[in-house]
Structure 1
Amino acid sequence: MVANQQAEAASAVAPGAEATVDPMRLASRWRSQEEWQRAVEAEDEPAPSELNTVNSSGLFAVVSPDKLSVRYLSSHNHGHDVGVVQANCPAPTRRAVYYFEMGVRNAGYKGQTSIGFTSDGFKMRRQPGWESNSCGYHGDDGYLYRGHGKGESFGPKFTSGDTIGAGINYLLQEFFFTKNGSLVGSCPKEVKGPLYPTIAVHSQGEELTVNFGKEPFCFDIEGYILEQKMRQQSVTDKLNLPPDISHWIVRSYLLHYGYQDTLSSFDMANTTDPPANLQNGYGEPPEMYGLSHRKLLRQFIMSGDIDSTFKRLGEWYPQVIKDEKSVICFLLHSQRFIEYIRAEQLEDAVKYARANLASFLTHKAFEGLLRETLAVLAYEKPEESCTGYLLDSPQREFVADAVNAAVLSTNPAMKDPKNCLYSCLERLLRQLTVCSLERRAFNNDQGDAFLLHKELQNYERSRRP
């Protein structure tokens, strides 16, 4: 379901009627599967994979054909006779940490190898850290250089056989460096703009290799990232929150969507008594409203029994379907049509569409959605077509969520209509997403952000053997 059609249907209200529920803002329709995937892909950035053979000081260094090692060519006569090589693209920024390593295959005559980060316009005959907008850890003295020629004591020297790593911790806005799998230290990241992973050789015989992640790192970078995130989590853990708050958040989700059986099992498995909704002054949460009815309505819709859904709504909540051209009626009629298609009852589907969907043709706001729904008829195998998503269970779930929200909106205790659309859990997740994006914006669009779909994908990957 395309975004512009969702936007049109969001304002779909019959003339003279008031919209109490906007189904297109439900959690199940925040984004389509394709839009979620595009949002996740937008977070992916090109990552360095090899050395740049064009933008390098070629007079003093030669890069190997595989573009993963560099060797000093000339004689070391001057301070600016440096063989500097950057990666083929800047370090990605939309993540918690970026890291790469170099191996010192040969420390050469003076061991003046170095590793660090440099900007796009960096002078390619200077060591990283010797010029502004750069930072480098040097092997001959173990000093750290941060934008000027004077180094500062930082860590041990490194020589032939050592593996040195350099990284950017976007969580703390720091550079950090490692040696042979151990953390050496860190320093504030004061450099702005895109930064290129950079290595340099500076005397005869020096030879370096680079690892951008194609091979396992010597340093446990995954453990480091986890440790950094756990440190941030420890700050959150110190916040003073009501006891069993996570229990009540999960419970409110089950209440909101009418999962009565799961809720009963959940309560039986926990010894804590259900809370009174003191904040709103009621003896029970507003989401308790019509719980058993909402449970049955969801079951009807998820099983494809739309006729029983209409019947029960007429008995229990007639105001929800009183307006025959409301969004809820449109969604239910559309779903009944789809159920005919699912059952391969095409003649019945056509008859139903003429009797119950044709009246929506004059309603411009439904035009796009209606066209896409009716298009299912055009395909011999509709489940394999571009509109096949309409026959999947998430579409039923969307309709069930819309009906659930419409029923909740009839509760006089539900003062804020937005509470009909989202559970507490979903509002928290949306707030978490917004806050993480704000934090990233504050750090010059650097660092990771919370995207629920991405987190779920990562969780699924972690469960695979």
Structure 2
Amino acid sequence: MVANQEAAATESAPAATVDAMRLASRWRSPAEWEAAAAALEAEPLPSQLNTDNSSGLFAVVSIDKMSVKYLGVNHHGHDVGVVQADCPAPTHRAVYYFEMTVVNAGLKGQTSIGFTTESFKMRRQPGWESQSCGYHGDDGYLYRGPGKSESFGPKFTSSDIIGAGINYISQEFFLTKNGSLVGGFPKDIKGPLYPTVAVHSPGEELTVNFGKEQFCFDIEGYILEEKMKQQSVSDKLYLQPDISHWIVRSYLLHYGYQDTLNSLDMASETDPPANHQNGYGEPPEMYGLSHRKMLRQLIMNGDIDSAFKRLEEWYPQVIKDKTSVICFLLHSQRFIEYIRAEHLEDAVKYARANLANFLTHKAFEGLLKESVALLAYEKPSESCIGYLLDSPQREFVADAVNAAVLSTNPSMKDPESCLYSCLEKLLRQLTVCSSELRVFNNDQGDAFLLHKEVQTCERSRRS
């Protein structure tokens, strides 16, 4: 049946246009991946107290601007020594947290900690004004604006270490004392929020820690626990038995990893299934499996000439248009293989004969320029574009050819199916949902970036 389908496709079906830049393995340099990850973490972090924009009713005790001592006389409620961090709490993460140590509780123990906005009146305790919150040591109360106070936790005094944080996962503030969680409450304040501390009676002195020193509270354990809570919610959702097996199997089918697929079936003692999604027929990814396996192997081995010959024999419509994206990727990869083998004269001749046709195509401009630029380096593998000589570039070309072959399947109803496996569709959906959740939470919270998650998993496995 598969052979008949492929023969019919070879004779009549035109190849759909494959937008290779939308493939999961689309051409992207390691530097671009790192830049994308860095952009998510580019927010400045609070590093010291902003002693310029403050009430001024305190002395800076340490030259690093991490400690303050009260200098006022405390005649009324406005005689507060309040100071914010030098920048707002970062928002592109799961949790932000900082701590203060009460070096001396002073005469009345009216130290406090919390979060305030940029427009906060710098002569008031955090929590005494709208758009602010504060946990106060003299009474253990939580203040969240005029007339909004409640008994919240224990009082705190000299030598106590008090922490305040923002949980962007649950959209809550939380407070700690001496390494233990005191409690949380809804995050109902909008805009950038500054970590804030205050002193309010003679002798009061505080020191802050924005993360340069180890926290008293196990913040990493807290973050892990909060993420596990998220995981437990998804774990309660009903999933079809062995769904992970079928997702992996469909991935191997989609990309033509026939040998690995056979090993998976043997290891799991699973018969090759009918279409698992609708219960009948043959999975569309079975189309051209042995051919796609061979084409992938040829490209991954750098044998582009043989890949061209096989395509001409099996799927001529894929390379019928000599200026198509598939022809460009194959020709550019053949050029790269010459560079890899240090056959520079052959590379130049090949470029003049086969790459010159693509000079006017804007879509190919980036990869074309960087490929040709390999000629300029004495050691191209050590250059900034040396990644073009690595196996991921071959894999990208192999994936593009694989998608083009799948696009010739006359029974494929959805043209998008040739671009992504079920696994990749799930990851794309996860990325979109993560982005939408952050939009809903005013662009706050941890952003999902697959490259970053893979690196985190690799570090965890090595440690």
TM-score range, shorter chain: over 0.9
Q: Does the CA contact (< 8 Å) of 2:72 and 2:200 recur in 1?
A: no
Query: What letter matches 2:274 in structure 1?
Result: A
Once structures 1 and 2 are overlaid, which stretch shifts more, 38-47 or 57-66?
57-66
Q: Secondary structure at the match of 1:457?
A: helix
CA distance in 2 between counterparts of 1:407 and 1:280 reads 23
Deviations 1:426-460 (A, max 9, x none): 11111111111101101111111211111122223
Counterpart mapping for 1:197-216 below 5 A: 197-216=195-214
How far did residue 364 of structure 1 move? 5.5
CA distance in 2 between counterparts of 1:81 and 1:149 reads 19
Q: Secondary structure at the match of 1:29?
A: coil
Label 1:30 to 1:398 Cα distance change in 2 as closer, same or farther (>3 A): closer
CA distance in 2 between counterparts of 1:77 and 1:379 reads 74
Label 1:364 to 1:183 Cα distance change in 2 as closer, same or farther (>3 A): closer
Q: Does the CA contact (< 8 Å) of 1:20 and 1:417 recur in 2?
A: no
CA distance in 1 between counterparts of 2:413 and 2:279 reads 12
Number of the residue aligned with 1:305: 303
Number of the residue aligned with 2:321: 323
Query: What letter matches 2:428 in structure 1?
Result: R
Do residues 172 (structure 1) and 184 (structure 2) align?
A: no
Query: What letter matches 2:97 in structure 1?
Result: Y
CA distance in 2 between counterparts of 1:287 and 1:408 reads 8
How far did residue 326 of structure 1 move? 2.0
Number of the residue aligned with 1:285: 283
How far did residue 19 of structure 1 move? 4.5
Deviations 1:50-91 (A, max 9, x none): 111111221344352121111112332222111111111100
Number of the residue aligned with 1:378: 376
CA distance in 2 between counterparts of 1:437 and 1:396 reads 31
How far did residue 158 of structure 1 move? 0.6
Number of the residue aligned with 1:12: none
1:24 to 21, 27, 37: 21
Label 1:31 to 1:293 Cα distance change in 2 as closer, same or farther (>3 A): same
Query: What letter matches 1:219 in structure 2?
Result: F
How far did residue 247 of structure 1 move? 1.5
Number of the residue aligned with 2:389: 391
Counterpart mapping for 1:131-170 below 5 A: 131-170=129-168
1:247 to 245, 248, 260: 245
How far did residue 419 of structure 1 move? 0.8
* TM-score normalised by structure 1 residue count: 0.92
Number of the residue aligned with 1:423: 421
How far did residue 401 of structure 1 move? 0.6
Once structures 1 and 2 are overlaid, which stretch shifts more, 120-129 or 361-370?
361-370
CA distance in 2 between counterparts of 1:154 and 1:325 reads 70
Q: Does the CA contact (< 8 Å) of 2:15 and 2:405 recur in 1?
A: no
Q: Secondary structure at the match of 1:47?
A: coil
Number of the residue aligned with 2:110: 112
Q: Does the CA contact (< 8 Å) of 1:53 and 1:63 recur in 2?
A: no
2:229 to 228, 231, 246: 231
Q: Secondary structure at the match of 1:215?
A: coil
How far did residue 142 of structure 1 move? 0.4
CA distance in 1 between counterparts of 2:225 and 2:147 reads 33
Q: Secondary structure at the match of 2:103?
A: strand
The runs of 5 or more residues in structure 2 that have no matched partner are 1-13
Do residues 348 (structure 1) and 346 (structure 2) align?
A: yes
CA distance in 2 between counterparts of 1:18 and 1:248 reads 28
Q: Percent sequence identity over matched residues?
A: 82
Query: What letter matches 2:23 in structure 1?
Result: L
CA distance in 2 between counterparts of 1:93 and 1:358 reads 48
Q: Does the CA contact (< 8 Å) of 1:95 and 1:449 recur in 2?
A: yes
1:222 to 220, 223, 238: 220
The runs of 5 or more residues in structure 1 that have no matched partner are 1-16
Q: Secondary structure at the match of 1:28?
A: coil
Query: What letter matches 2:40 in structure 1?
Result: E
- Kindly tell me the number of residue pairs found equivalent between the two proteins: 449
Query: What letter matches 1:26 in structure 2?
Result: L
Query: What letter matches 2:242 in structure 1?
Result: D
CA distance in 2 between counterparts of 1:408 and 1:171 reads 40
Q: Does the CA contact (< 8 Å) of 1:62 and 1:73 recur in 2?
A: no
Q: Does the CA contact (< 8 Å) of 1:62 and 1:72 recur in 2?
A: no
CA distance in 1 between counterparts of 2:252 and 2:258 reads 7
Q: Does the CA contact (< 8 Å) of 1:112 and 1:140 recur in 2?
A: yes
Counterpart mapping for 1:9-20 below 5 A: 19-20=16-17
Query: What letter matches 1:21 in structure 2?
Result: V
Q: Secondary structure at the match of 1:213?
A: coil
Label 1:250 to 1:187 Cα distance change in 2 as closer, same or farther (>3 A): same
Label 1:254 to 1:109 Cα distance change in 2 as closer, same or farther (>3 A): same
Query: What letter matches 1:153 in structure 2?
Result: S
Q: Secondary structure at the match of 1:136?
A: strand
Label 1:234 to 1:20 Cα distance change in 2 as closer, same or farther (>3 A): same
How far did residue 46 of structure 1 move? 1.1
Deviations 1:362-408 (A, max 9, x none): 55654554343223223322223343232221111111111111111
CA distance in 1 between counterparts of 2:373 and 2:28 reads 21
Do residues 266 (structure 1) and 264 (structure 2) align?
A: yes
